[in-house]
Structures are given as structure tokens and as C-alpha cells.
Amino acid sequence: MFDLIPDKDYRVPSACAVSGIMNQDGKKISGRNIIDSIAVMHERSNGLGGGFAAYGIYPELQDFYAFHMMFENESGKKAAEDYLNEEYIIEKTEIIPTRPHENILSNPILQRYFVLPKKQHEDEKDFIVRSVMFINANIKDAFVFSSGKNMGIFKGVGYPEDIGEFFRLEEYQAYMWTSHGRFPTNSAGWWGGAHPFGLLDWAVVHNGEISSYGINKRYLQNFDYKCTLSTDTEVITYLIDLLIRKHGLSFELASKVLSAPFWNDIERMPEEEKNFYTSLRITYASALLNGPFGIIVTNSEYMMGLTDRIKLRPLVAATKGKTLYLSSEEAAIREICSDLDKVWSPKAGEPVIGKIATTVQST
């Protein structure tokens, strides 16, 4: 027993790892780039979770919601498909392509469905959200881990570079990629609990621990969001959807809710600004994220990096031409782009936001 390595030698205080690439001109690149970036930070994860989000990968089916789904067994798959057939027109369904990998010994059934609701709804996106919540909460052994248009999430139990190769991501072309290497501290490592977390075209990767999870979860329940995945990152994804899509806040304002200024900082602001941020903090008191975090949030148009108010988790930003990079470490960025135009460390609680060109979005 004296040959056992003490736990302290495994623990990495600032793990997990996050990385993101956004070509703001819409240029698509292979998933090989993001795999190489996240692989540099191998020591930040422990093999219990890795994953990727990719945007622009289904141009021939871009008008359909792409449901990426996991099933523990065939009965879960059948029950979910019965629900989908009742509520949706299914344009295409297929097994998500994978390859055998020596470090991934087992996996759930992985299937994707390209769908549209059969009926018209007052807000189609609200209906998609309700569907995802219903499947994840009520259909046993079935889980929707991606539900946006022309994008997809690929994740599982393993080191991120192994997960990327398992899902054959070098075969995909996307204008934006994010990735995550997990080092779980307070929840189990399982396929559904790996990052990114997704809802509609949102995807969130997170390094840290949300100690306000209980308060955030109860707040979200008031708006019919169901947190069923036993991982604190889930609340970040749903809060982003609520604040930006439902309540119409900008990314900048949403960041000031999630990583709000301290009260003593607000007290020193000019009167008008002080009143505004006081109202914002009071209105969204239960949406504040407490605890250390560094996150990358994406949808089909934006990528945002954000840390907690005292930056207990690292985040580095860089640019090269029209490309924005975000990562836990500068080395992970320089692995794929050595001659950067600019590199900086964002201030605590200050967002870094990139946007895809409007002309690209219309094509």
C-alpha cells in the first residue's frame, strides 16, 4: 500500500480546462485544431469528462433542430423516439459517427435527430426547451445533450483529446469550436455530466465550482427550467438562456448579473450608474453565480469568456486577425497559433465578447 500516490499529487487546484476558437469572418476549420489546443492542458483533467461544441457543421440541414441524444438502453431510445414522432417531423436520424478508441471502453447509444415541431407554437424555441426538459426529466435512460440548429455537442467520459478522436471531430468543419477537460470535484463523472452543457444553440464550458447552485436552481424553477443532471454547470446554461433569450439582456448586462460588481464598488459609482447596478443586483439577486469560475459561453453568433468577481479561475484571451481565442492557458492558444496579434488576461468579472459578422450569418 505504500506504493500508492497520495491524492494531493493528483489534485490540480485550478482545473478544469476550457478552450475556444471563433472565426468572426465565418471561416470554417477542422476540429483537429480544438483537439490539439485542449490536449496541451491534459493535466487539468482526470479522464472523467471531455467534450466539444461545434457551429456550422450541418449546413445542408441548417433549418432543422439537431437533437444529439444519449440512451442507456434500447427501451430509453424507443420511449424517446415515440415522443419525438408524436411532436416532431423527423427529417433525418442517424447514429453519431464514432471510431473505436483504446481509452474509451464503453459508451451509451449515441444518436442524432434533425427535427421540426409538427405544430406551430407561439414561441418555437420555448417549445424546444420544454421538450428538452421533458425528455431529460421524464423519459428514463434518455438524455438530450444538444438541441440547436446547425451546431452540435460531442462529449463523454474520457480525456478531451480522446473524446475528440472518438467522435472523429477532425472530419467536421466549423466556424466556432469550444472544448472542455473535466476534473469533477463534487459530482460523478458520467457521459451526461461532461461539458459542454447545451440548450438550443447555447453551449457552456466551465472551470470551477458554483456554490450558489441551490439558489440558482430554485430561481430557475420559477421559469420552468428543470435541473436534472446533477452538475452545477447546468444552471449557468439555463441562466444564460433566461437572461439573454427570454429577458432580452445583452451579453454585457448578463455578465454583470452572473458576475455582479461588489456592493462596495457600486457605492463608489456615479449616481446614475450606481442606481442602475443597484436595481440590476436586486432584480437578479438569485441569478448571481457564487464561487470560482471561468466560463466560455457560445451561441450561433457570439462567444463570451467570463470569470468570477475576483478571478479565482484563469482565463486568457487572444486574437489573430478575425479569430478570437479563449483558454485556461496561453500555451493552449499558441499551440495552434504561434504568431498572435494580441494576448491579454481579462480582468475579474469583465467579459470578452466576440461576434460573427452579420453577412456570414445571413448565408
pLDDT in tens, 276-285: 999 999 999 9
Asked if the peptide bond before residue 16 counts as cis, ω within 30 degrees of 0, the response is: yes
Question: pLDDT digits over 293-322, tens only?
Answer: 999 999 999 999 999 999 999 999 999 999
Task: Tell me what pLDDT residue 362 has.
Answer: 37
Q: What are the grid coordinates assigned to 2, written together?
A: 505504500
Would you place residue 228 in the very low, low, confident or very high pLDDT band (cuts 50, 70, 90)? confident
Rounded Cα distance, 296 and 94, in Å = 29
134 alpha-carbon distance from chain centroid: 20
Q: Which residue, chain included where needed, has cell 466560455?
A: 296
Residue 185 confidence (pLDDT) above 90: no
Residue 148 confidence (pLDDT) above 90: yes
Q: Which residue, chain included where needed, has cell 499558441?
A: 334
What DSSP character marks residue 330?
H
Would you place residue 2 in the very low, low, confident or very high pLDDT band (cuts 50, 70, 90)? very low
Query: Phi then psi for 95, rounded to 5 degrees?
Result: -70, 135
What DSSP character marks residue 245?
I
Average pLDDT over residues 52-65: 98
Q: What are the grid coordinates assigned to 236, written together?
A: 449557468
Which residue in 283, 50, 58 sits closest to 149, CA to CA? Answer: 58
% of the chain with per-residue pLDDT over 70: 94
Task: Tell me what pLDDT residue 186 has.
Answer: 67
Rounded Cα distance, 139 and 135, in Å = 5
Rounded Cα distance, 162 and 98, in Å = 11
Q: Which of 11, 15, 16, 171 is catalytic?
A: 16
Which residue in 201, 178, 203, 175 sits closest to 25, CA to CA? Answer: 175
Which residue in 61, 38, 55, 52 sits closest to 299, CA to CA? Answer: 55
| Element containing residue 79 per DSSP (H, E) | helix 74-87
- The number of beta carbons lying within 10 Å of the beta carbon of residue 27 is 13
Q: What are the grid coordinates assigned to 248, written together?
A: 432580452
Task: Tell me what pLDDT residue 229 has.
Answer: 83
- In the residue annotation, 16 being an active-site residue is answered as yes
Task: Tell me what pLDDT residue 232 has.
Answer: 87
Rounded Cα distance, 67 and 219, in Å = 26
What is the number of alpha carbons within 13 Å of residue 299 lying toward its C-beta? 14
Q: What stretches of 261-315 adopt beta strand conformation (E)?
A: 293-298, 302-307
Would you place residue 358 in the very low, low, confident or very high pLDDT band (cuts 50, 70, 90)? low
* Superfamily covering domain 15-357: Aminohydrolase, N-terminal nucleophile (Ntn) domain (3.60.20.10)
Which residue in 295, 233, 324, 332 sits closest to 35, CA to CA? Answer: 332
Task: Tell me what pLDDT residue 167 has.
Answer: 98
CB 323 within 8 A of CB 19: no
pTM of the complete model? 0.94
Rounded Cα distance, 102 and 3, in Å = 26
Identity (one letter) of the amino acid at 182?
R
Distances (CA, A) of 43 to 13, 21, 75: 11, 21, 38
